[in-house]
Copies of this chain bind each other. A is one copy, B any other.
Amino acid sequence: MKVIIVGGVAGGASCAARLRRLDEHAEIVMVERGPYVSFANCGLPYHVGGVIEHESDLLVANEQVFRGHFAVDCRTGCEAVGVDPVAKTVQLRDVASGAVTAESYDTLVLAPGAASVRPPIPGIDLPGVFSVRTVPDAREIREWIERGTSFLAGMDRYSGFQTVRPKRHAVVVGGGFIGLEMAENLVHRDFDVTVIELADQLLAPLDAEYGNLVKDFLEMHGVHVVVGDGVASFSQQDDESLVVSTRSGRELPADVVIVALGVRPETTLATMAGLEIGERGGIKVDDQMRTSDPSIFAVGDAVEVRDFVTGEQSLIALAGPANRQARIAADVIAGRDAHFRGTQGTSIIQLFGAAAAWTGASEKSLRRVGDDDYERVYLYPNSHAGYYPGAKPIAMKVLFRTSDGRLLGAQAIGEDGVDKRIGDLALAIQLGATVYDLEEAELCYAPPFGSAKDPVNFAGMVAAGVLRGDMPVSHWDSGGDAFLLDVREPVELAVEQVPGAVNIPLGQLRSRLDELPRDREIRVICRSGQRAYTATRCLQQNGFDASVLSGGMLSRVLWPTP
């Protein structure tokens, strides 16, 4: 059996390694047009930022390892430029010499990844405008930045107290995860950074109100964020610096521009081979990663897969799924029975020491598929026991099915413990858990690590309370003309009040029920929703129509106050 694998990074390299382990005698050829195989794309922004110091740190494996450990005929600088699916041959072009040869296969694996989207914006090819996809990309950005640094030496301004180095400007076009990682790393490199995003929120997979949180947080860290505006053109000044002009007429100076507008599946070869392309523009595969040609498999960023929760076709450009798909393809090629279970899109991004993460369905994606059998709750549990130093609140939004309690999705933001909780919830979704299961989860508790009731338990308890009818919930964006009852202590009102809300501290509620209307919906507010819940239980059982304003005052920042 001869297998040719096109692409030598996450998908291709993992497939080659697994296939060798399963079949010692297969002939395996892996071709990569770039200079490196098995590199860490995901580390590129951090290499630009200097967090990952050496370029060589990004090279997880290399040709020697593939030849020596895995007996794989690994060829870098070798591009597949054509496929003949009938003759079962691939045309390979040696990048250095340009020479093209044909190589036959029994099975072909396409793992060509995705290409950075670079729309035909005037000036996009000017020097100083970069994409971030490969090691050479990162090297060019570093070199560009460092050249600029020496140019700045000696230009310090003196403020009367201290010398001040003038800040250079960076513009990041695109507010997806690569864009925001680049923005942060350019701040570390001492740039004044502006992110421009055409959509009206950052991090599209998040729901809008969480996108707002991320925006606020970045702004707190000095990043300028422009949403709802696109780039009209890039132009070069006399001093070689750039100007980014936006559709709405902004003119932003830039010493460096990063274009991070997302990626588009690399389907050139697949199209040549006449393979079916899916509705979202990725190579179409079955759950064994087989394309419409049974001798050709495809994996990774190039393919589209089924969303595990919504069942939609989706493009998920993430390394975990790419690795798993590659392993499954190798299994199937080696004659085993393996199936990809779809993707939950579990993702995380580090942001100035904090993190934003999500898994499963968002409210947006549920609405897109016309699913309204869900409810949402917002909560802000501590990352570990509040009495142990360093606990940080985690903002969590949890989505679950109203009819059966199944967990559908979760989003979280915070300075500590976000990865852990979204990981837990991702596993719960994978295993078909309900919010009732989360109530009973037995996670690690000692004061530095969690709480006797972990955030995951709280998520389950709150959601289950909603489903059991114990905790009717409302939201700041629920609309309608409800009576607002604030059960916080007077001292808390000094910090922040809700216009129109009536204050009865929880401790006085039972003796002041006669102050409340029996003919109106009452929304109960406290700091996080917890006291409001106790109050709501009391009101419900006394015949009032009450609900908890989910997440209380802490949720208020999610929506611009009307």
| CA A85 to CA B427, docked complex, whole Å | 46
Partner of A442, one of B346, B386, B440, B470: B346
Collect the chain B residues with CB atoms within 8 Å of residue A538's CB. Answer: 24
- Mask of A511-544 contacts with B, CB within 8 angstroms, 1/0: 0000000000000000000010110011001100
Binds B, one of A103-111, A121-129, A257-265, A417-425: A417-425
| CA A433 to CA B541, docked complex, whole Å | 40
| CA A64 to CA B508, docked complex, whole Å | 12
| CA A104 to CA B419, docked complex, whole Å | 49
Contact A430 B426, CB 8 Å, known A388-B52, A449-B348: no
Is A443 in the interface zone, CB < 8 Å from B? Answer: yes
| CA A456 to CA B350, docked complex, whole Å | 21
Is A306 in the interface zone, CB < 8 Å from B? Answer: no
| CA A92 to CA B387, docked complex, whole Å | 32
| CA A343 to CA B23, docked complex, whole Å | 43
Say yes or no: A389 contacts B69, CB within 8 Å.
no
Say yes or no: A10 contacts B541, CB within 8 Å.
no
Collect the chain B residues with CB atoms within 8 Å of residue A25's CB. Answer: 541
Is A2 in the interface zone, CB < 8 Å from B? Answer: no
In chain A, positions 310-357 with a C-beta closer than 8 Å to chain B are 318-324, 341, 343-344, 346-350, 355, 357
- Mask of A428-451 contacts with B, CB within 8 angstroms, 1/0: 101111000101111111111110
- Closest CB-CB distance, A177 to chain B, in whole Å? 8
User: What is the oligomeric copy number?
Assistant: 2
Is A507 in the interface zone, CB < 8 Å from B? Answer: yes
- Mask of A3-18 contacts with B, CB within 8 angstroms, 1/0: 0000000100000010
Partner of A24, one of B10, B60, B541: B541
Collect the chain B residues with CB atoms within 8 Å of residue A22's CB. Answer: 470, 537
| CA A433 to CA B51, docked complex, whole Å | 37
| CA A444 to CA B349, docked complex, whole Å | 9
Say yes or no: B430 contacts A427, CB within 8 Å.
no
Contact A437 B431, CB 8 Å, known A24-B538, A506-B68: yes
Collect the chain B residues with CB atoms within 8 Å of residue A427's CB. Answer: 424, 427-428, 431, 433, 441, 443, 456
| CA A23 to CA B542, docked complex, whole Å | 11
Contact A21 B51, CB 8 Å, known A430-B441, A452-B320, A531-B69: no
Binds B, one of A39-47, A149-157, A160-168: A39-47
- A69-B534, A427-B431, A427-B433 given. 16 additional CB < 8 A pairs? A17-B534, A21-B537, A25-B541, A42-B452, A51-B388, A52-B389, A68-B508, A69-B506, A319-B452, A323-B452, A324-B440, A348-B450, A420-B423, A423-B450, A426-B443, A431-B431
Q: Contact residues of A with B, CB < 8 Å?
A: 10, 17, 20-25, 40, 42-43, 46, 51-52, 57-58, 60, 64, 67-71, 177, 181, 308, 318-324, 341, 343-344, 346-350, 355, 357, 359, 385-389, 419-420, 422-424, 426-428, 430-433, 437, 439-450, 452-454, 456-457, 470, 506-508, 510, 531, 533-534, 537-538, 541-542
3 pairs of A and B residues whose beta carbons are closest in the complex? A68-B507, A24-B541, A348-B444
